[in-house]
Amino acid sequence: MIFFLETLIGGLLAGTMYSLVAIGFVLIFKASGVFNFAQGAMLLFSALTFVSLQEHGIPFLQSLLLTVVVIVIGAVAIERAVLRPLMNRSQITLFMATLGLSFILEGLAQGLMGAEVRALDLGIEDTPLMLGEVMVSQFDLVAASTAAVLVTVLALLFNKTHIGISLRAVADDTRAALSIGINLNRIWQIVWAVAGCAGLVAGLLWGARQGVQFSLSLVVLKALPVLIIGGFTSIGGAIVGGLIVGAAENLAEVYVGPSIGGGITPWFAYFLALVFLHVRPAGLFGERAIERV
Q: Which residues pair with 118 in a beta bridge?
A: 212
Q: What values do phi and psi take at 130, rounded to 5?
A: -100, 115
As measured in angstroms, the least distance from the Cβ of 58 to another protein is 36
Contact call for residues 60 and 43 (beta carbons, < 8 A): no
**Of 50 and 158, which CB lies nearer to another protein in the complex structure?**
158
Q: Does 172 bind another protein (CB under 8 A)?
A: yes
> Of the candidates 7, 24, 31, which has an alpha carbon nearest to the alpha carbon of residue 223?
24
Query: Mask 85-104, x = binds another protein (CB under 8 A)?
Result: ---x----------------
Whose Cβ is closer to another protein: residue 56's or residue 175's? 175
Work out whether 260 is an interface residue with another protein (CB under 8 A): no
Looking at residue 288, its amino acid is R
Which of 85, 261, 292, 293 is close enough to bind another protein by CB under 8 A?
292
Using the contact rule CB under 8 A, the part of the chain among 40-48, 122-130, 165-173, 217-225 near another protein is 165-173
Instruction: Determine, following the binding rule CB under 8 A, whether residue 290 of this chain makes contact with another protein.
Output: yes
CB of 44 to another protein, least distance (A): 33
**For residues 205 and 17, is the Cβ–Cβ distance under 8 A?**
yes
Total residues in contact with another protein, by rule CB under 8 A: 25
Rounded CA gap, 252 and 195, in Å? Answer: 31
Q: In the bound complex, what is the minimum distance in angstroms from residue 173's beta carbon to another protein?
A: 5
What sign has the CA pseudo-torsion 27, 31, 37, 38? negative
Burial of residue 43 (number of CB atoms within 10 Å: 0-12, 13-18, 19+): buried
CB of 205 to another protein, least distance (A): 31
Choice between 4 and 160, CB closer to another protein: 160
Q: Cβ distance 38 to 265 under 8 Å?
A: no
- Using DSSP bridges, classify how beta strands 128-131 and 134-137 pair: parallel, antiparallel or unpaired: antiparallel
Cβ nearer to another protein, comparing 61 with 290: 290
User: What does the per-residue mask of binding to another protein show for 177-206, with x meaning CB under 8 A?
Assistant: xxxxxxxx----------------------
- Interacting residues of 154 by C-beta distance below 8 A, sequence separation 6+: 23, 27, 194, 198, 235
Residue range at the interface with another protein (CB under 8 A); choices 72-80, 127-135, 164-172, 224-232: 164-172
Task: Characterize 199-225 residue by residue with b for buried, 16 or more Cβ atoms within 10 angstroms of its Cβ, and e for exposed.
Answer: bbbbbbbbbbbebbbeebbebbebbbb
- Considering the rule CB under 8 A, would residue 248 count as an interface residue with another protein? no
Q: Per rule CB under 8 A, is residue 33 in the interface with another protein?
A: no
- CB 286 to another protein: min, Å: 12
| Nearest to another protein of 88, 259 (CB atom) | 88
Query: How far apart, in whole angstroms, are the C-alpha atoms of residue 20 and residue 230?
Result: 13
Binding site residues, another protein, CB under 8 A:
88, 162, 165-166, 168-169, 171-184, 287, 289-292
